[in-house]
């Protein structure tokens, strides 16, 4: 995870500006809130929380307690400023034990685009870890890029990063294999916010239009 930490330390706030317009992510976050409605302050793990927006902010505003983890100290510092009500911890994606304040399992987990820099073998491992910390009646939302690649290097905000992507059917099968029932699989065509990048004086090299997949899951 050192590779992703270095990338996002360098990108910092630019990421949130250039990638702010993700209605599909907000819709998946709302699905999670609706699924947890009626529970008293449900606790949600934001896996790869970045700057805390939009997900940690949305979940806090929706009445959840939130624990966010990321490997980037720069992103975490921004998150603590943006969403001071949440708890943010510098932690590897494969080190999820001990994050729940009372050592219980989480009511929900959100992982929006935090697994796509992993090789497919590590994505499988991460899903096992998520399943381990999620309550039996919990819910899981996942955002990935649609495609067919395993750790394929590409340009991202001027930095070389690996990208792992799945087809819709492959993502559904992957999640089912790891103990999740896909209740809804949402598809969103997305274009980077070039205007925001220009405001920051940042080009968006290699960031092309993408298709995003949002899987809304319960535990089998």
pLDDT digits (tens, 9 = 90+) for 121-149: 999 999 999 999 999 999 999 999 999 99
Q: What is the mean pLDDT of residues 196-213?
A: 63
Residue range(s) defining the domain that contains residue 22: 2-219
Q: What is the pLDDT of residues 23-81, one digit of tens each?
A: 999 999 999 999 999 999 999 999 999 999 999 999 999 999 999 999 999 999 999 99
The reply to whether omega before 181 is within 30° of 0 (cis) is no
Residue 209 is predicted with a pLDDT of 78
173 within 8 A of 146, measured Cβ to Cβ = no
pLDDT higher than 70, residue 2: no
Give me the number of domains the chain comprises.
Answer: 1
179 within 8 A of 167, measured Cβ to Cβ = no
- Note the pTM of the prediction, 2 decimals: 0.88
153: which strand partners?
Answer: 162
Residue 19 is predicted with a pLDDT of 56
Range with lowest mean pLDDT among 15-29, 41-55, 180-194, 198-212: 198-212
Cβ–Cβ contacts within 10 Å for residue 163, how many?
18
Determine if residue 113 is left, alpha or beta; phi over 0 gives left, psi from -120 to 50 gives alpha, anything else beta: left
Strand blocks (E) in 4-147: 43-47, 65-70, 87-90, 106-112, 134-145
CATH code of the domain containing 29: 3.40.50.150
Query: Comparing 8 with 53, which gets the higher pLDDT?
Result: 53
pLDDT higher than 90, residue 4: no
């Amino acid at each position: 995870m050192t590779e992703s930490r270095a990338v996002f330390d360098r990108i910092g706030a630019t990421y949130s500006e250039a990638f702010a317009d993700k209605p599909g992510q907000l819709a998946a976050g709302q699905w999670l809130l609706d699924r947890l409605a009626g529970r008293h302050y449900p606790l949600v793990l934001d896996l790869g929380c970045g700057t805390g927006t939009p997900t940690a902010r949305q979940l806090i505003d929706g009445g959840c307690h939130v624990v966010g983890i990321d490997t980037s100290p720069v992103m975490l510092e921004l998150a603590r400023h943006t969403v001071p009500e949440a708890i943010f911890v510098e932690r590897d994606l494969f080190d999820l034990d001990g994050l729940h304040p009372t050592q219980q399992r989480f009511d929900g987990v959100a992982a929006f685009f935090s697994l796509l820099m992993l090789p497919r073998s590590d994505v499988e491992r991460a899903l096992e870890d998520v399943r381990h910390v999620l309550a039996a009646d919990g819910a899981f939302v996942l955002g990935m890029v649609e495609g067919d690649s395993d750790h394929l290097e590409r340009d991202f905000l001027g930095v070389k990063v690996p990208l792992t992507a799945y087809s819709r059917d492959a993502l559904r099968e992957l999640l089912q294999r790891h103990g999740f029932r896909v209740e809804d699989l949402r598809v969103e065509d997305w274009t980077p916010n070039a205007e925001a990048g220009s405001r920051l004086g940042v080009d968006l090299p290699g960031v092309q239009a993408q298709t995003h997949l949002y899987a809304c899951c319960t535990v089998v």
